[in-house]
Amino acid sequence: MASELKNDRFIRALLRQSVDITPVWMMRQAGRYLPEYRETRKRAGNFLNLCKTPELACEVTLQPLQRYPLDAAILFSDILTIPDAMGLGLNLVEKVGPQFDKTVRTASEIKALSVPDPESDLGYVMDAVRLIRKELDGSVPLIGFSGSPWTLATYMVEGGPTKEFGLVKGLMYDDPASMHHLLDVLADSVILYLNAQIAAGAQAVMIFDTWGGILTPSSYQQFSLNYMQKIVSQLDRQHDGQVIPVTLFTKGGGDWVRDIAATGCDAIGVDWTKNIGDVRAEVGDQVALQGNLDPCVLYASPEVIRQEVAAVLESYGQGNGHVFNLGHGIHQHIDPENVAVFIDAVHDLSAQYHI
C-alpha cells in the first residue's frame, strides 16, 4: 500500500501532490546497458524465458534499484505478452527485434481472436508482480504496464518491427471495421490484464503507445486514443484504499496532449521533441507530466548530463506534478556510470523547485 511506502514520491508526483525532490525512473531501466542484466539473460537462455520465469523477472527488475536511488520499479516484462497469449507465438530475434510466428491480417483472422485470461494465460506476469512486491518490501512503488491497443495491433499485423507500417495502415484504411474489431478485443484484453496486475500489487500503471505518433491527427483519435480512453475508464483506479495512477505515453504525441489529458488519465508521458514547460502550459493542472530528457544525452559527459537535466527541470519549473524520465527507453550502449550521474543530477538539482 502506498501509505506503507518508504518512498512515495513517485505516486505523490503523479497525483500532483507536494514532494521534496523530483522523483525519477527510466523507461527500460532493467535492460541490456547493465552487465548484470546480460548475465541473467544468458542464464535464462533467451528473453522470453526471462519474462516467463517470475524469479528471474524479479531479479532483473531489482537490478537497477540496487545500483541507483530510483524512485520506482517497473515490472520486467514486455508489451507483446498479450499477443503471445493470444497464440501468435513471440520470438525475440537478435539484431532484428520481436517477431511473431503468426500474423493477423484478415477479417477472419481477427474474428478468431479471443481475450486472454490474465491469471491462467498470463499467470507468469501476475506471479512476477506478486514476487517483486514482496521483494521490494515497500521501498519504492511498482509500476505495471501494457502496450496500447494500436501499438499491439501494429506488431500483430506487421508480424515484427517495421519502418513503413504499410500493412497495418493499409488494413486501417481499407477495412476500418475489422481494425476497430481488433482494437476492441485488444482494449478488452488490456483492461483485464492491467486490472489483474493491479490486483496482484502494481501500484501505478502505464500504457505505452509507442506507435500512436505515426498516425494522422484524426486517425490517432479514432484508432489509438479512443481505445486508451476506454481502458482508462475501466481500470480499477483504487486498490487496498490507495489510488492507482494511470500514465499514458504516446511517442510523437506532443501535439495532442490536451486530448490525451481529456481521457481522465493522471499523467502523460512526454518524449523529447517538446519543451516540457510548453506542454505544462497547455495542460495546466489537469495532469502530471513524465519526461522528457533526450535518451542520447546519456552518451554525453557528466557535465553535459547535469546541464541537460537542469534545463528540463527549469523548463517544467516550480511546483508539483513532474516525474523525471527519459523521453523514451534507455539505449543498450549507455555507460551505467552516466546513469548514476543522471539520477543524482535529478535529485540534487530539483529541491529548489519544491519550496
Active site residues: 28, 32, 41, 78, 155
CA angle 150, 237, 261 (to 5 degrees): 55
Q: Which is nearer to ligand CP3, 102 or 111 (CB)?
A: 102
DSSP codes, 225-260: IHHHHHHHHHS--EETTEE--EEEEETT-GGGHHHH
Minimum distance from residue 237 beta carbon to ligand CP3 (Å): 21
Q: What are residue 147's phi and psi, to 5 degrees?
A: -80, 160
Least distance (Å) between residue 161 CB and ligand CP3 = 6
Residue 238 CB coordination number (10 Å): 10
Q: Is 80 or 104 the residue whose CB approaches ligand CP3 more closely?
A: 80
Burial class (CB in 10 A: 0-12, 13-18, 19+), 284: exposed
What is the crossing angle of helices 302-316 and 336-350, to 10°?
40
Query: In angstroms, rounded to a whole number, what is the distance separating the alpha carbons of residues 194 and 144?
Result: 7
In the complex with ligand CP3, the residue whose CB is nearer, 124 or 353, is: 124
| Closer by beta carbon to ligand CP3, 8 or else 158 | 158
What cell does 112 get? 478468431
Residue ranges that bind ligand CP3, judged by CB under 6 A:
27-32, 41, 47, 74, 76, 78-80, 92, 97-98, 145, 161, 208, 210, 329
Look at residue 35 and give its three-state secondary structure: helix
Residue 348 CB, nearest approach to ligand CP3 (Å): 24
- Whole-number minimum distance, CB 155 to ligand CP3, in Å? 7
